[in-house]
């Protein structure tokens, strides 16, 4: 029984941990701008993250290797160094955006000034990370993030035209605004496939001391957890579409996103939405700050992991502390977290191939994956998504420039 319970708890945490500020911004904006026309992109992104999370989780369980170990081992020193620099820059941008999101959610809940809340958010996160074990970090933020399910209730209550919603699940091109549409396709895929998710997922498997016994747990976590997480993306897009489409409102503030729950459900809906957003972006802050420290430590070969305690992994510990301070500096400049999110998602897309190709390669390595190496299904999907990722990586920046970061 305890095994089933553990599985269920892990999956719940994965659902709650799926959505971050990138998903919030892109899903609601996509709904507000194109209605239900972009619904079809969500399952494509979700299946992609399932395929690659399952793969890197399996590699971690069988070989004890995390994603950046694989990157350095398979790409060699110089390209891995490039990947490291790119991933650290994108991670830091994402971290700053998530922390800005935490401060905004706290502001909407408390009414205190934003500037103080940035500091409170950073200090709070540092204390929470320092005092809490890895599995509790995952649980607290994962379960808190489940409050976002209020958007699913809201989506139903908003009574959308389900026929149109269904049509949106079939890939198609719009009559006008094709460039902006393409920009949103890239953004939605980028938000679903962000590289930090696989860095965190694989290193998290090692933090949780996965062994080949946990292959099933890994698969269930990836498929059910992320699958149902994608369900939240649907809810967000529907609420964006039902509430904002045709009103000229684009959710440039996280508070606007919470309106998607307040409008149909009242104050209680707003409260759930804000608490859900707080835990979702708070959890994502921890994922990103750890990813930054995991990557540097794995590139250099340092001891790493929350499970080692600060005493056992001093440089890893110093790295995440420094990253929090740098994020504080960025957010304190007053940069808009939603804008920062868009840039972070689009730039992360460019770094995707450098992250996903090595995962596919090590997952096929007979010498240490043995009978757990990729089968035809994983390789088929893996290759298919590699093509998707290449297209997305090559078109992301041109589309960002052509659409003026989605403002046109």
Q: Which of 302, 335, 390, 395 binds other proteins (CB under 8 A)?
A: 302
Distance CA 59, CA 363 (A): 6
Q: Is 92 a binder of other proteins (CB under 8 A)?
A: no
Between 23 and 214, CB nearer to other proteins: 214
Q: Is 72 a binder of other proteins (CB under 8 A)?
A: yes
The residue among 295, 383, 389, 385 whose CA lies nearest residue 349 is: 389
Q: Is 377 a binder of other proteins (CB under 8 A)?
A: no
Between 230 and 305, CB nearer to other proteins: 305
Residue 359 tokens, joined: 């995962």
Between 314 and 380, CB nearer to other proteins: 314
Binding segment toward other proteins, per CB under 8 A, in 114-122, 138-146, 152-160, 294-302: 294-302
Please, which of residues 313-332 interact with other proteins by CB under 8 A? Answer: 313-315, 317-318
Residue with tokens 């890893």: 316
Q: Which of 304, 347, 356, 385 binds other proteins (CB under 8 A)?
A: 304
Q: Which of 151, 299, 347, 385 binds other proteins (CB under 8 A)?
A: 299
Residue 250 tokens, joined: 């684009």
Q: Is 73 a binder of other proteins (CB under 8 A)?
A: yes
Between 160 and 358, CB nearer to other proteins: 358
Q: Is 131 a binder of other proteins (CB under 8 A)?
A: yes
Please, which of residues 28-47 interact with other proteins by CB under 8 A? Answer: none
Distance CA 304, CA 203 (A): 9
Residues binding other proteins: number (CB under 8 A): 32
Q: Is 80 a binder of other proteins (CB under 8 A)?
A: yes
Q: Which of 163, 246, 301, 334 binds other proteins (CB under 8 A)?
A: 301
Residue 107 tokens, joined: 């502001």
Binding segment toward other proteins, per CB under 8 A, in 214-222, 275-283, 302-310, 381-389: 302-310
Q: Is 371 a binder of other proteins (CB under 8 A)?
A: no
Q: Is 237 a binder of other proteins (CB under 8 A)?
A: no
Give the per-residue SS3 of the chain. Answer: CHHHHHHHHHHHHHHHHHCCHHHHHHHHHHHHHHCCCCCCHHHHHHHHHHHHHHHHHHHHHHHCCCHHHHHHHHHCHHHHHHHHHHHHHHHHHHHHHHHHHHHHHHHHHHCCCHHHHHHHHHHHHHHHHHHCCHHHHHHHHHHHHHHHHHHHHHHHHCCCCHHHHHHHCCCCCCCCCHHHHHHHHHHHHHHHHCHHHHHHHHHHHHHCCCCHHHHHHHHHHHHHHHHHHHHHHHHHHHHHHHHHCCCCCCCCCHHHHHHHHHHHHHHHHHHHHHHHHHHHHHHHHHHHHHHHHHHHHHHHCCCCCHHHHHHHCHHHHHHHHHHHHHHHHHHHCCCCHHHHHHHHHHHHHHHHHHHHHHHHHHCCCHHHHHHHCCCHHHHHHHHHHHHHHHHHHHHHHHHHHHCCCCCC
Between 69 and 214, CB nearer to other proteins: 69
Between 114 and 136, CB nearer to other proteins: 136
For residues 338 to 367, the per-residue mask of contacts with other proteins, x marking binding by CB under 8 A and - elsewhere, is -----------------------------x
For residues 246 to 285, the per-residue mask of contacts with other proteins, x marking binding by CB under 8 A and - elsewhere, is ----------------------------------------
Binding segment toward other proteins, per CB under 8 A, in 61-69, 91-99, 141-149, 263-271: 61-69
The number of residues in the chain equals: 408
Between 136 and 162, CB nearer to other proteins: 136
Distance CA 228, CA 34 (A): 23
Binding segment toward other proteins, per CB under 8 A, in 4-12, 60-68, 195-203, 240-248: 60-68
Q: Is 63 a binder of other proteins (CB under 8 A)?
A: yes
Binding site for other proteins (CB under 8 A): 63-65, 69, 72-73, 76-78, 80-82, 130-131, 298-304, 309-315, 317-318, 367-368
């Amino acid at each position: 029984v305890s095994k089933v319970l553990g599985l269920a708890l892990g999956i719940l945490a994965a659902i709650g941990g799926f959505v971050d500020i990138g998903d919030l911004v892109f899903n609601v904006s996509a709904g507000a701008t194109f209605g239900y026309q972009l619904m079809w992109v969500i399952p494509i992104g979700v299946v992609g993250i399932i395929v690659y999370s399952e793969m890197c989780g399996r590699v971690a369980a069988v070989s004890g290797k995390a994603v950046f170990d694989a990157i350095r081992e398979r790409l060699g020193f110089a390209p891995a160094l490039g990947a490291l620099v790119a991933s650290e820059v994108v991670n830091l941008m994402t971290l700053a955006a998530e922390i800005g999101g935490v401060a905004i959610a706290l502001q909407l809940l408390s009414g205190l000034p934003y500037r103080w809340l940035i500091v409170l958010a950073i200090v709070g996160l540092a204390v929470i990370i320092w005092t809490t074990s890895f599995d509790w970090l995952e649980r607290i933020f994962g379960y808190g993030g489940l409050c976002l399910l209020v958007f699913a209730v809201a989506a139903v209550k908003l009574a959308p035209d389900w026929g149109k919603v269904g049509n949106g699940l079939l890939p198609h091109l719009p009559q006008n605004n094709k460039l902006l549409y393409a920009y949103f396709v890239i953004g939605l895929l980028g938000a679903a496939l962000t590289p930090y998710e696989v860095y965190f997922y694989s290193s998290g498997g090692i933090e949780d001391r996965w062994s080949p016994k946990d292959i099933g747990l890994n698969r269930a976590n990836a498929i059910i957890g992320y699958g149902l997480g994608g369900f939240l993306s649907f809810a967000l897009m529907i609420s964006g579409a039902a509430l904002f489409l045709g009103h000229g409102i684009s959710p440039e503030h996280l508070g606007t996103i919470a309106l998607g729950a307040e409008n149909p459900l009242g104050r209680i809906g707003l409260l759930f939405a804000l608490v859900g957003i707080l835990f979702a972006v708070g959890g994502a802050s921890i994922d990103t700050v750890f990813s930054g420290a995991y990557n540097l430590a794995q590139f250099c070969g340092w001891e790493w992991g929350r499970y080692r305690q600060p005493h056992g992994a001093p440089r890893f510990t110093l790295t995440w502390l420094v990253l929090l301070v740098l994020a504080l500096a960025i957010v304190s400049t007053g940069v808009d977290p939603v804008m920062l999110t868009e840039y972070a998602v689009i730039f992360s897309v460019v770094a995707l191939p450098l992250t996903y190709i090595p995962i596919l390669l090590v997952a096929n390595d007979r010498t240490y994956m043995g009978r757990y190496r990729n089968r035809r299904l994983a390789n088929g999907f893996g290759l298919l998504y590699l093509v998707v990722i290449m297209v997305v990586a090559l078109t992301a920046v041109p589309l960002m420039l052509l659409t003026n970061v989605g403002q046109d």
